[in-house]
Chain A
Amino acid sequence: MRLLTMTGAAAALMATTALAQDVAREDTVIFDLDRTISDPGNFNWFTDGTGVRRLQGAHQTMWEPLFILNYGTGELEPWLASGSEQNEDATEFTVTLREGVTWSDGETFDADDVVFTVNMALENEEITAREAATLREQVASVEKVDDLTVRFTLTDANPRFLVENFGVRIFGSFLIMPEHVWAGEDPATFTFPEPIGTGPYTFESAATNRAIWTRNDDWWGAATGFADLPAPQRVIFLETGGEESRAQLMAANELDAAQSVGVGTFEAIRAQNPNVIAWYADYPYAAADPCARQLEINTTVAPWDDPRMRRAVAHIIDRNQIVNVAYEGTTEPSRTMFAQFGSMDPFISAVEEAGYGLSPTADVEAGQALLEEAGWTRDGDYYAKDGETLSVAIHVNSASQEYVRTIDVIVEQLQRAGIDARAVPVENGVFWGEVLPFGAYEMSYSWLSCGSVNEPWASMGRYTTDTVVPVGERTPGFNNTARWSGEGAEAYTAIMADMEGRALGDPEVPAMVAEAYQYLDAEMPFIPLVQAAKLVPFNTTYWTGWPTADNEYNHPFHWWNHTHQILQNLEKAE
């Protein structure tokens, strides 16, 4: 499969250069795309569960967020918005918009667009994108105060409302659409065939393996003095299809920013092309990813609906081996479900002190004891019960070596312990669009508890029982995709409801985290594996100013909505 895409990418590159002849290579910046644009003419991000209608360049170049969370400073920096206010109990938020913002067709961007788009998400249940689903859960109503002011009234107190919904905390943000184009259209079916945005680039063309964006020299940001016009005249997002082709294109200067690669591959690229850099100048090179990796379990599928079985798997997994084999030592085992950022320390320690921390090594005997307790007996290589072999299929996104390798290691560990595990590789779009949200898996590898960066609720709050839907129905916003329910889950949800309204830095929160964690520990609706590190290579042959540890204006994940900042910082290489 990969080979097909690889030759495809090479052919596409030739085609792109032919198309883009009027813009020189040194004025073009080429980003790597890790998935196929299954429907290149469709720009309705609301109905796209895979994210590909945004990360093909749309939300990096054309659609701008209201705020951008700066991962270095922890501050929420205004972009389309200019500021915000909230009432004392965090149930009402007032956002001020920047003056002079225009859509690329010349129309003014104002409060009407925001109110229109938010109402569209509130009123249309068919809208399934994670950001829209989250917003629908939290917002009771939205109103226009004046042309540049919008007020949100929430259903419950939520001090994190802005960063969660409009601040590019993880991957994307709720994107505002132009009212004058979308009015009267059905948001469930409208494809937005001639997409416009407020951003410094406009849409040029797209095919299944690439999207091209051209600079709009009349961009509002430059006109109002908010920011300079970005230096690249053209931005290309190109599907390279795999580690080898990604590496070869990088070495040959045909790519300026790649998706993450293994440490060996990175060293090999650098041996051939010393202009290629990453987050750190030296080993381990990679930047910490806020989404800790975990083994997702569908808790409705037998025999994994038995918490003992899930705990058994948790005991059998050797996290150190995953770090060594799948990550070549560039990350560390997870101690809890949380990303191991300094700001998360109080919560991680609270969980560990309560005795729910995870071991970096395996305890296979303990795992096997649990299997036997659940009535399985070892018969030759595998455990069996009532003549049925204990087996499990683990769906894995085939887009990255990291994912595939991790599951290879886990499959091996489970096989050794007597569980007939096998990996089911799935294409990126299918994985996010069909497998995960609909619960069409037994186990899977992902990061669905991702969210917490400086407080625990964003991650923990994703496993409450109110988002449980039957298998075959779409989980709203990928929350509780494990479909975890029952007494433990109810008790957990009750604690979460209390925690949700607590302000940042509330001294009672760590104890609440520990209390709630007992249910996660006892029932294991998912198994935290390792911290994630992304080794994202950047090429300085044509462009400098990439985000690095020494130049930390933000993190380097150029498939996120904050890439506007990266484009702002790029400078032509001398």
Chain B
Amino acid sequence: MTDKSTDVTPPHADGDLRAPATREERRAAKRARRFENPWMNPKLYWGAGLLLGIVALGLLGRLFWDMDSVFTGANLLKLPPVGFENLRGQAGTFANPLGTDGAGRDMVALLSLGAPNTLYVGLLASLIGMSLGIALGFTAGFVGGRVDDVIRVLSDVMITIPPLLILVVVQSVFGDVSLTLMALLIAGFVWQSPTRLIRAQVLSMREAGYVQMARLSGASTPHIMFREMLPNLVPYLFGSFIASVTTSIVTAVGLEVLGLGPQRVPTLGRTIYEAIDAGALIQNLWWWWGLPTLLLIVMFLGLLLVNLGLDEVSNPRLRKL
């Protein structure tokens, strides 16, 4: 009895009584801080963390792994990851911890080159697309008139064209394309949404007091557009940027899975294409198509979280107290 009471009561009784209070307080303080500094957003952190993880995979892989084993015929074919056996009864080895594909390419090397490449295409494409969108959107919204008509009609028409259809044709004609060229091609299809979005915002802002004030004080058009109005759109642009990165990656992966896009440069989509083309499903070579799919999931999850986080940053109503 005494044992029991000494064992259980003193510290727990104490803790049980005090802990909720302090935890509650701490939580409240945390929430308050978050409200004051919206950038301290866990979704944002997690999302950015996942994306940085992909970049880190690329860096660490290049530093610590033999990237030459990404070449055709560098290893034995169709080896499973460590701890598994393939249909032939071969066990995985630590020389190729994630296994190899049907051409003897090491999966670790393939993924640590391929995942950052896929991210790179998405980032570059939407960076270019966004810049284009910002420039056109501002011009249309602020200058108005004929310029506005041309830009608006152009972006309205372009938004109805399914990008994959055009890109499939274009890339079949090009044959082998580089990652950068592919990003450029995709960029041609991600500028319309930001253009429309920004044009709409600029139209409503144009009549705002501070813009009128700037105009009256004789500020130049570019000054008003980029120095006065742009800063107010930053959270908006961020959200839009992340959305277009997602679109770009989806488009790029879509092309790669169809066997288009760069051929000798590893990307996640191309790895999946090769796996399907070589009959990896029926041969149960799940690591060949499964690991790149997993990395794509991580990448999209990261982008989604960043997007949700940015939403909360720019819109205080979404931040729960």
Contacts and interface: CB of A to CB of B under 8 A. Distances in A.
Nearest to B262: A422
B263 A422 contact: yes
A25 interface: no
Contact of A401 (B78, B259, B278, B284): B278
Contact of B71 (A242, A324, A412): A412
Contact of B282 (A268, A415, A416): A268
B171 to A, nearest CB: 10
A247 interface: yes
Nearest to A269: B282
Contacts of B277: 2, 242-244, 401, 404
Given A325-B104, A425-B259, A265 B71 contact: no
B170 interface: no
Contacts of A302: none
Interface string B8-36: 00000000000000000000000000000
Given A242-B277, A411-B264, A422-B264, A264 B73 contact: no
B176 interface: yes
- Main SS class of interface, A: helix
Chain B's interface size range is: 20 to 34
Contacts of A251: 282
A251 B282 CA distance: 9
B87 interface: yes
B257 interface: yes
Contact of A328 (B71, B77, B279): B77
Contacts of A416: 71
A17 interface: no
Interface in A264-311: 264-265, 267-269, 271-272
A265 B288 CA distance: 14
Given A3-B258, A328-B77, A244 B175 contact: no
Interface string B271-303: 001001111111110000000000000000000
Contacts of B258: 1-4
B72 interface: yes
B279 A1 contact: no
Contacts of A570: none
Given A3-B258, A321-B73, A271 B175 contact: no
Nearest to B104: A325
A314 interface: no
Interface string B98-142: 000011100000000000000000000000000000000000000
Nearest to B283: A268
Interface in A372-412: 393, 398, 401, 404-405, 408-409, 411-412
Contact of A244 (B77, B104, B172, B281): B281
A321 B74 CA distance: 10
A16 interface: no
A272 B282 CA distance: 9
Given A243-B277, A268-B87, A401-B277, A424 B78 contact: no
Nearest to A328: B77
Contact of A264 (B102, B175, B176): B102
B229 to A, nearest CB: 45
B260 interface: yes
A261 interface: yes
B176 A325 contact: no
A428 to B, nearest CB: 14
A423 B263 contact: yes
Contacts of A272: 282
A248 interface: yes
A360 to B, nearest CB: 15
Contacts of A476: none
Nearest to B168: A1
Interface string A238-254: 00001110111001000
A262 B259 CA distance: 19
A119 to B, nearest CB: 42
Contacts of B317: none
Contacts of A321: 73
B227 interface: no
B88 interface: yes
Nearest to A3: B258
A416 B273 CA distance: 24
Contacts of B104: 325
Given A1-B259, A324-B73, A408-B103, A424 B175 contact: yes
Given A243-B279, A244-B276, A325-B104, A408 B175 contact: no
Contacts of A415: 264
A240 to B, nearest CB: 12
B282 A325 contact: no
Contacts of B278: 243-244, 262, 265, 401
B278 to A, nearest CB: 6
Contact of A409 (B73, B88, B263, B279): B73
A408 B176 CA distance: 13
A4 B259 CA distance: 11
B73 A325 contact: yes
A409 to B, nearest CB: 5
30 contacts: A1-B172, A2-B258, A2-B259, A2-B277, A3-B258, A242-B276, A243-B277, A244-B282, A248-B281, A264-B87, A264-B279, A265-B279, A265-B283, A267-B283, A268-B87, A269-B282, A272-B282, A321-B73, A325-B73, A325-B104, A328-B77, A398-B259, A404-B277, A408-B72, A409-B103, A412-B71, A412-B73, A422-B263, A422-B264, A425-B259
Given A3-B276, A268-B87, A415-B264, 13 more contacts: A2-B276, A2-B277, A4-B258, A262-B278, A321-B73, A325-B73, A325-B77, A325-B103, A404-B277, A405-B103, A409-B72, A409-B103, A412-B73
